[in-house]
Each structure stands twice: as C-alpha cells, then as structure tokens.
Structure 1
C-alpha cells in the first residue's frame, strides 16, 4: 500500500493577483471545478493508497483542512511546518512518523500544485515505480520534454533497467536555451518533476548517510510534536534549527539507488500565467477566457475575470487577470516577472500580495468591502455551529448588523441572541464573542471604527481552533 505525501507549501507569487501568500495556487481552482490540491488527491483514485499525509505551512492549515473536508478526507495527517525548510526535511517528517508508528510504507511524494492531464498514464507510471521502490530504489518521475525548456531542472537517464525505467545518471540545473535544445535533441534527458517514490526506511537510510544533520533535527522536532485538532505540530524551536535543503541536493544527486521512470501524461507545474494559457481550452482566436469576458479582435491571450466584466479590444499575447482588489495586465512573454510586482507591493508596505479581499477562516469567511481613515466595513459569514474566538480589541469598537440567520453574542458579562435586522455594539476593550447557533449560515455586516484596525489588534482569550 502506498502512503501519499503531498507537499502543499508555496509563496503565491508567480500567479499574482489570483494567488496570494496566504492563498497560493495549490488552493485555487485554476483548471476545473476543484483546486489543484483536490485534483492531486483525486488522481490517486484507483491506486491502493493509505490515508494521505499533507505537509503545509502553519498559516495555510485551515484552508488545507477545509479542502480535505470537501474531498471527504477526514483522517489525514496534516503536518504544520513552523518555518519552511524545503523538501528534504518535510519528507523526513513523514518518513520518521511512519517509522515511529511501526510502519515502513512506500511513500509517494507529490506536489500539491501540479496539473496532470492524463490520469491513467500517471497511475500506470506509479504502478511501475511501485515495483522498483519495493526493491529499495529511490524513484523519481521524469517528464518527457515537449520543447527546450529553460525553467526546469533536468534528469539524465543512464542504464536501462527494463520496463522503460532507467538508472539516474545525473541531475542538472536549469539550462540555457542552447543547452536545453541539446537535451531535447539527445532524447536522454527529462524534466525534473519533483515527484518521488521510495520506502520510508530507505529514504531515512540515505538521509542518514548524506545529511545526518537534517535527520537529527527532524527526529528531535518530532519527539516533541503534539496533536492539535486535525494537525501535527512539530516542535517549532527545534525545527527552526534544521538546515534548508531539497531532496534533490540532499539525497537524489548523491544516492547510488536513484531510478527514473519517464512520465508523458500532459504534466505542468503551472509556474506562470503563460503555462496556464498553454494547458487551457482555447477559442478560435487562441484565447483562454474564464469568467465574464468580452474579447473583441483579441488573440493568443489569457483573460481571467473573477467578479467584473473584462472587455478587451485589438490586443494580442496578453494576460489580463481581474480580482476584487487588483488587476494585472502583462505581456504573455513577461509573466515570469510577475514576482517583481509582488516584491514592489511588499516594499511599498501594501497588503495585496498577502491575501484577497475575501479571507477564509475556520469558522467561515469575511470580505473587506470598504475602508478608510479610522473605519472598515466587513461582510462576515459564519458557518452553522461555528464560533469565533473569545477576544477583545485595544484600538477599535465594532458594530454588528445581522443580515440573515441568528447570532449568539457574548458582550462582556451579557449573552443574547441577535436576529435579522437587529444590531449590537462592542465597545473598545470589551471581551466579546460571536457564534452561529443555527442551521443556516449567519451573515452580518461589521463596521469597525477606531485609531487602528489591523488584524493583529485581536487578543484571543479562548479559541476552539487553537489560535488563542
């Protein structure tokens, strides 16, 4: 039986403004009705797999939990990385945990943000890799290249082992165009997909040989780990001391047991808006359009409308992306540089690189619909049975107006119901709480007023989601 280990970290810079730091691409519905994380889990159907292990950032934990719930996966192990340390330590956590539990599974390591068009070919490659991994090999999946790509690392194949698999002759960094053209012509190089399969014990053995410092820190951080709701929290202080390294550098480039299985299944890491255009369904003018789009005399462009009508006229080879709080217009040949915009937003002290206007929380969602000097207006939706933390604010007061549903409000020593078209007021410094005791979503308008309105002016006194 395989244990999927899904790497769900990410910074959310290359697909801005749709992708943000707190809501990166693996959690978005970029190509279909499901997010990339959900698609990654769905393509495991038909394989003999155990409950998946998800490794994600602390700040993404509730998004991951909610998307697993939507996929009807309720008992996954979700590891929270207090700081990012790249793939070698992350995979080590999953392998060590399996061995601590007395198991030695085959780990199928996948990225949560990849797109694979042909699911059946993917599953066939997994079954091929399973035989090799069962023999103690460390298997990587090499993508059969379609063109001379300079944005990927490459894997060179060596001796054939049968059934179309090969020993790994070497890994190479992202090449220049001439070198990539040579790789393509030679036929013995594959794109490095970042997907792997091996026994937990074999990976830990190789890590102990080549990077014992990483293994030591990961073991110690797991010794002090504890369960928190759906999550496994490793010891933050210990894990922060872990060296940062990828599995490629730490193990795969050094091991003598590396094997590559070719994969030709319509793979993409969706590393830019142009990559999304390449895999998208195009109209007769070569445009990929999503949302309310009117494209006149427009060619070879990607136009993505989230909330408003987006109209184009007489343009070619553009990317236009509209969200509630930002619009991107870029030449398709320059979209690899979108991260420059993200860096500029950071340097200017703006917030549009961090999150969308709509922000998901474990209890529901809020939408910052208006703000100005000393005020902010939010539309808040609380799921049935959900409860916000018991909290107070030092710098702002809040007015709540219920639009639909029923709110159970704690306001200081008082607790009472507020129903549709009723309101209440929370003074500065007052301990308060909001709960939805009903069976339908609670919707309300919150008007904040005060000298400081940042989210860090929340003093949580008690919280059922472990944030106090």
Structure 2
C-alpha cells in the first residue's frame, strides 16, 4: 500500500452548535464526545494508518490553538498551513497536495474534517485499506455513510447498486424531508461524509482539468508563502482571490474517476445539537444531560450546562445549552436553524456571536470576569515557562494580583518575583511583561482601569510567538 498522509481540515466555524461553538473557538476544539477534542480524536483515530504525521490546514486565527491541541497528543504536523481567509475544501486540499509535492512525495491523501466523530476506528481502518487499492489505481474515493433516518442536514451520494466500492452516479445537496425519505427508502443513496482518499497527483490533475484557475492560485499562494515559527502562512493577496468552493463542486461532481465506499463506523459530523444528542447515547427517557443538570418528567432532551445548575421540568424535545454568557433554548426539530440565530446576533453587534469570555492565546488564556465604563477585571492563566509580550498601553493601567503560582514581572528595567497573595501595579505607558517561572500554571487577577480598555491598546516590543504589533 502506498504511503498515506492524513490531511486534516481544521477550519470551520460550527455555528449550528452555538453558543458552545463560536468562530473564535469552534467545535473542532471542543470536547463533545470523549475525553479529547474533536481535532485530537481525528488524529488519534487514524494515527496507525499514517505513514507520516498529518498535513494540517487551519485558519490563521486559530494557529496557536491548533498547535497546542496537537502538542497535547504528541504529534508534530508534517506541515501546518495557515489560510488567511476561508475558501472551502477544494483550495485547502489543493495546497495540502502541493505541499506533499514540496516534500518530494506523491502519497495517498486521506482527507478528514477535524470536527467529525468516527466511533469505530478499527472499522474505519479496514475501509481505508480497502479504498487504498482503488486510490492507487487512480480513483478518487469518497466515503458514504449508510443513512439511519431521512436527515435533511447532510448531502447525499447516489451510487450504483451493489456492495463494496461503486461508481458515483450523482451528488445531491441537502434535500427536503420528503425527498430525503425517498432516498433512504431506495437504498441507492448514502450520506456524504466529506472524507476522501486519493493520490495527490490525481487530485491535482483533475483540479487542473476542471478548475485550473483554483490550482494556479493555490500554487502561487503556496510558492509565495512565508514561514512563521512552525507555520506556513499562505500568501494573503493571492489566496483571497481563490473562489470558495468544495471538493465536491470543483472536482467530484465532474470527474469520471469518482467512486464511493459505504462506511459503517459510527460516523457523525456533530453538525447540530440534535446530532450530538444522537451521538451521546440518551438514557431510558431519551435525555442527555451534561454538567450540573436536574431533570424531572422530561423526555428526549439535550441539556448542557457549563458552570451552573440547570433544572428542567415537564419538557419534551427541547435543547437547553447554558454557557457563562449565553443561553440557548430551542426545539430539537429546529437545531439546523441555529445558525440563523448567530447571523441575527452578528447583525445586532453582539460579541457573543463569535467570541467566548475565555480567550485563548499562545501563552495561556484570559477570561472576562466583570467590566464597567472605565474598568475591567480578568482572570489570566499563563502556562509554565510561557510569557506575555513585552508591551505598553497608552490608555490603561493594570493591577496584577497573583492567586496561584510564581510570576516574574518586568517593569521597564526592573524585575520582580511575585507569589500567591502578592501584587504589582503597571502605570500607563510603562513597558511591562508577565511571565510564569514556575512549574505549574500561573493564575493572576488583572484589574484594568483607564479611558479605553480595548485589546488593541497594545504596543509590542518583544514577543516569543512572532506576533506583529497590530495583532492581539
């Protein structure tokens, strides 16, 4: 069998899982099914198949989050390609295939969304090995999921009748309920999983045939990329010119080489709260409770609480998701429409549409506790050995109180070591830096006060993570 390199697509916003999944920290980084994030599970589920570590394509905005999640499962990517803007899957796979060429390889690329769940890794491994023979012979293999019900949130693939690998007859977009029922009843259709296996050279050749404009721009965007720490930044000006289009539309619907293999491995795209309910094994009353939840006389419920007690009484087919800054209550039948709520929130200027109170940085996290007209209180966590940038603020002062750990504070040219219950004051305009010199996470309460408290009030002088001054 040829060398297999996974291509993990780690972009996407996961808006149908709002308020838990948001653009700044979408569902691929959440722990929704198991003890690891969906991104981590994606790698761990196929690590035994991989001839090399994965090529990962991710959003520039999420670069440090992706890197940290992969570090936690002890994998260093063969390449971590950063998209300056999202352009769907066809360009993402193209730059990954071109990167494989840059590595002097023409492997089989196992293309995987990073936000799906495959419960039966052994069955998936068997399916990939079976598909590898067809891929080595020049076929573009997609994996179809046998429908368990008439789902309107998935695309469908019509195939030739029979078992094993079959030619694709048609790709169908998300149908209405009546059409979905016909598809399931016919036995000729499978759900489109968005998982592919093909040789890098074959995919690029088909893309050259059907969308040479995309291939040309992807080639130039990679050729003119820049290396930043462990990341490869695709050229923004060129990548922005690429049309946003999926692998299905760009290649699979047009090529004569498309084949499909039915996959029965406990797949779910966790694309909505209803699909999470299905994947979470409801109890005898059909309920899934996550967090501190009290339920009485309720059936077919999904209730999730991040931080406080939630009680439900006498409800059926309802979704309740309670986070520290937003509460969702919806009927399960409307779970596919939650993205419209997110769109409404964006139009109205609600920051909760895209960001959480906890914000992830390469050095750790900060979390908003409370704020007012001229003050803000945050909890800062700095990882062992990590440090914030050397910086100044033009409009605010800061007061730091160490609650856990050992901090080293730089103020202009002086150093100070602080332990729990000790504090430091940073006046406006003073160069300063906060570092964790201990072996455990450092926790600090920060009180900001001033005329302007925006995160863009930072002038950076030195940074361990290669961030430019106008980035947060």
Q: Scaled by the length of structure 2, what TM-score is found?
A: 0.96
Kept in 2, the 8 Å contact 1:12–1:22? The answer is no
Q: Distance in 2 between matches of 1:253 and 1:336?
A: 25
Q: What aligned pairs does 1:261-300 form with structure 2 within 5 A after superposition? A: 261-300=261-300
Kept in 2, the 8 Å contact 1:225–1:233? The answer is yes
Q: Distance in 2 between matches of 1:159 and 1:191?
A: 15
Moved over 4 A (4+): none
Which residue does the alignment assign to 2:64? 62
Kept in 1, the 8 Å contact 2:6–2:50? The answer is no
Which residue does the alignment assign to 2:120? 118
Find out whether 1:442 has 2:452 as its counterpart.
no
Q: Distance in 2 between matches of 1:246 and 1:462?
A: 40
Shift of 1:316: 1.3
Q: Distance in 2 between matches of 1:311 and 1:4?
A: 43
Q: Distance in 2 between matches of 1:263 and 1:321?
A: 31
Shift of 1:159: 7.1
Kept in 1, the 8 Å contact 2:272–2:335? The answer is yes
Shift of 1:179: 2.0
Q: Distance in 1 between matches of 2:92 and 2:356?
A: 28
**Which blocks of at least 5 consecutive residues in structure 2 are unaligned?**
none
Which residue does the alignment assign to 2:39? 37
Q: Distance in 2 between matches of 1:345 and 1:420?
A: 40
Q: What aligned pairs does 1:16-31 form with structure 2 within 5 A after superposition? A: 16-31=18-33
Shift of 1:430: 2.1
Q: Distance in 2 between matches of 1:125 and 1:328?
A: 38
Find out whether 1:230 has 2:230 as its counterpart.
yes
Q: How many residues are treated as equivalent by the alignment?
A: 466
Shift of 1:12: 3.1
Shift of 1:293: 1.0
Q: What aligned pairs does 1:331-342 form with structure 2 within 5 A after superposition? A: 331-342=331-342
Q: Distance in 1 between matches of 2:85 and 2:191?
A: 28
Q: Distance in 2 between matches of 1:12 and 1:153?
A: 17
Find out whether 1:405 has 2:374 as its counterpart.
no
Q: Distance in 2 between matches of 1:374 and 1:367?
A: 18
Which residue does the alignment assign to 2:173? 173
Which range moves more in the overlay, 315-324 or 347-356?
347-356
Q: What aligned pairs does 1:282-361 form with structure 2 within 5 A after superposition? A: 282-361=282-361
Q: Distance in 2 between matches of 1:346 and 1:295?
A: 32
Shift of 1:48: 4.2
State the SS of the aligned residue for 2:434. strand
Match of 1:98 among 77, 100, 106: 100
Which residue does the alignment assign to 1:71? 73
Q: What aligned pairs does 1:419-430 form with structure 2 within 5 A after superposition? A: 419-430=419-430
Match of 2:12 among 10, 13, 22: 10
Match of 1:129 among 117, 128, 131: 131
Kept in 1, the 8 Å contact 2:55–2:77? The answer is no
Q: Distance in 2 between matches of 1:149 and 1:381?
A: 42
Which range moves more in the overlay, 166-175 or 87-96?
166-175
Q: Distance in 1 between matches of 2:157 and 2:337?
A: 26
Q: Distance in 2 between matches of 1:453 and 1:350?
A: 18
Q: Distance in 1 between matches of 2:187 and 2:329?
A: 37
Deviation per residue, 1:306-345 (Å, 9 max, x gap): 1111111111111111111112111111222212221222
Match of 2:91 among 89, 92, 102: 89
State the SS of the aligned residue for 1:360. strand
Which range moves more in the overlay, 455-464 or 213-222?
455-464
Match of 1:80 among 60, 79, 82: 82
Which residue does the alignment assign to 1:380? 380
Q: Distance in 2 between matches of 1:217 and 1:250?
A: 14
Q: Distance in 1 between matches of 2:405 and 2:56?
A: 35
Q: Distance in 1 between matches of 2:144 and 2:441?
A: 46
Deviation per residue, 1:73-118 (Å, 9 max, x gap): 1244211100111111100001011112211000000001111222
Which range moves more in the overlay, 268-277 or 458-467?
458-467
Shift of 1:421: 2.0
Kept in 1, the 8 Å contact 2:224–2:235? The answer is yes
Q: Distance in 2 between matches of 1:208 and 1:104?
A: 16
Find out whether 1:431 has 2:431 as its counterpart.
yes
Q: CA RMSD in A?
A: 1.4
State the SS of the aligned residue for 1:352. helix
Shift of 1:185: 1.9
Deviation per residue, 1:255-291 (Å, 9 max, x gap): 1111111112221111111111111122221100111
